[in-house]
Amino acid sequence: MQRRDFLRWAAASAPLTLNATRLWSAPQAMPARFLLVFLRGGYDAANLLVPHGSPLYYESRPNIAIARPGTSANAALPVDAQWGLAPALTDRIFPLFQRGQVAFVPFAGTDDTSRSHFETQDRIELGHGAQGVRDYGSGFMNRLAAAVGGTDADKLSALSFTDQLPLVFRGSEAIANQSLRDIGKSGVSDKQAQLIASMYANTKLAGAVSDGFEVRKEITREMASEEKAANRNAITTRGFATEARRIARLMRERVHLGFVDVGGWDTHVGEGGATGTLANRLGELGQGLSVFAEEMGPLWDSTVVVVLSEFGRTFRENGNRGTDHGHGSVYWVMGGSVRGGCVAGEQQAISTGTLFQNRDYPVLNEYRAVLGGLFTRMYGLDGKRVGQVFPGTMPKDIGLI
């Protein structure tokens, strides 16, 4: 659906708030809004939720580890004896965490072990296990819309904030999408670069300026193909920070189920630690999420946001001071009524003996079970309807709602 089609859809759609009590009925007051934020590229969860209680973390990351809480200005923010939070989230997410509105679920992910962006992204969006038959015409959020929707006259309102309808929203339910792809692109085009270089022609800085732009073009050529493929046209973190307020307004007014993907997390080279590439992106993501929470106003208390990625990254840094494709990740669960301020789900000590294949976080909290547990609590779904959303899955209630 293109922008003009979305506007036509929005104008024709009746407000859904009158039916909210029945549509979102559950044993107790439950969230009425759900937003899934998909970080495409496989973000480095170990430098988001820092396992400072593990000596192996510091042995494995001599250049990119984040210092233990209290040891330096750029140290991890204190969470508990084992975990800390990236200092890039000091101003935005950590205050929400302290208010009990954010929780983190480590050792989370899928049973897919391909370490392929495409295989694992598809698997998550479709909502099938590694042994399940893939139906590319049926994504789990489309099935969720069907499971919690009402009659044809008052269907659940859902919207994908993406350029094209993603797998997660494909299916029998009619789902709209609105493109945000053009927001937050690089600020200097090739034409602008040539103009800037011409301004410095015949000056002492001419060589430096020209060389700088040439290096930029070379790096861009080398990295663009893989990064673009992994991102699947997702907006940047800066784009998300810019657009978060508009996303919140739409969800506040009429959208109950939302999806947005954010790219730029494939950090093979020069990832950084407390500062640098990953920290900058986490800071922009945190800014966008906090703006979203603020703009939701009173409805933040009836909203749940889940942030996930297709996989985590290697526990050890590579030779380029980055990290490679891994397995287990860390999920974020946010909302005004979330029982946060904690690290939730099944956990274990981190050592060489507990790493998956001696290189990655294991998956102890399978994503379908975790999301199935959240949806059970949010919407009062019975086992049959959870099975419609995630076939063959037993919901896992980790106590966050």
The closest alpha carbon to 350, from 115, 62, 59, belongs to 59
The closest alpha carbon to 94, from 71, 69, 67, 119, belongs to 69
Q: Please say which residue of 174, 206, 233 terminates a domain.
A: 233
pLDDT in tens, 137-191: 999 999 999 998 743 444 568 999 999 999 999 999 999 898 875 444 444 556 6
Whether residue 263 is found in the same domain as residue 299: yes
CA-to-CA distance for 391 and 139, rounded, in angstroms? 11
Please, what is the average pLDDT of the chain? Answer: 85
Q: What is the pLDDT of residue 165?
A: 95
CA-to-CA distance for 377 and 396, rounded, in angstroms? 10
Q: What is the pLDDT of residue 254?
A: 85
Q: What is the pLDDT of residue 188?
A: 52
Q: How far is CA 315 from CA 37, 51, 161, 321, 375, in A?
A: 23, 11, 32, 12, 31
Most confident of 12-21, 30-39, 216-225: 30-39
Percentage of residues of the chain with pLDDT beyond 70: 78
Whether residue 118 is found in the same domain as residue 267: yes
Whether residue 48 is found in the same domain as residue 138: yes
Write phi, then psi, for 120 (nearest 5 degrees): -75, -40
Q: What is the pLDDT of residue 178?
A: 87
CA-to-CA distance for 318 and 7, rounded, in angstroms? 47
Backbone CA torsion sign across 293, 231, 141, 4: positive
In sequence order, what DSSP letters do the residues of 91-106 get, joined into one string?
TTHHHHHHTT-EEEEE
Higher pLDDT, 318 or 18: 318
pLDDT in tens, 308-356: 999 999 999 999 999 999 999 999 999 999 999 999 999 999 999 999 9
Whether residue 325 is found in the same domain as residue 343: yes
Whether residue 180 is found in the same domain as residue 60: yes
Q: What is the pLDDT of residue 25?
A: 37
Whether residue 266 is found in the same domain as residue 135: yes
pLDDT in tens, 202-238: 776 666 555 555 544 543 444 445 555 666 668 899 9
Whether residue 76 is found in the same domain as residue 219: no
Q: How far is CA 328 from CA 16, 68, 75, 252, 310, in A?
A: 38, 22, 24, 33, 9
Structural tokens at position 164: 């094209």
Whether residue 176 is found in the same domain as residue 223: no
- Would residue 320 count as lying in a domain? yes
Residue 296, C-beta contacts closer than 8 angstroms, at least 6 positions apart: 33, 248, 251, 252, 303, 336
Q: How many domains does the chain have?
A: 2
Q: How far is CA 132 from CA 113, 136, 169, 308, 389, in A?
A: 14, 12, 18, 21, 13
Whether residue 189 is found in the same domain as residue 255: no
Residue 343, C-beta contacts closer than 8 angstroms, at least 6 positions apart: 49, 79, 80, 82, 83, 103, 104, 105, 106
In sequence order, what DSSP letters do the residues of 266-335 get, joined into one string?
---S---SSSSHHHHHHHHHHHHHHHHHHHHGGGGGGEEEEEEES--B-SS--TTSS--B-S-EEEEEE-
Domain with 287, as residue range(s), is 3-184+235-389
CA-to-CA distance for 47 and 89, rounded, in angstroms? 11
Whether residue 380 is found in the same domain as residue 249: yes
CB 267 within 8 A of CB 322: yes
Q: What is the pLDDT of residue 129?
A: 77
Q: What is the pLDDT of residue 73?
A: 86
Q: What is the pLDDT of residue 28?
A: 42
**Half-sphere exposure (Cβ direction) of 22: Cα atoms closer than 13 Å:** 9
The CATH number that applies at residue 119 is 3.40.720
CB 390 within 8 A of CB 371: yes
In the numeric block, the tokens 């979330």 are attached to 338
- Would residue 35 count as lying in a domain? yes
- Would residue 394 count as lying in a domain? no
Percentage of residues of the chain with pLDDT beyond 90: 70
- Would residue 398 count as lying in a domain? no
* pTM reported for the whole predicted model: 0.82
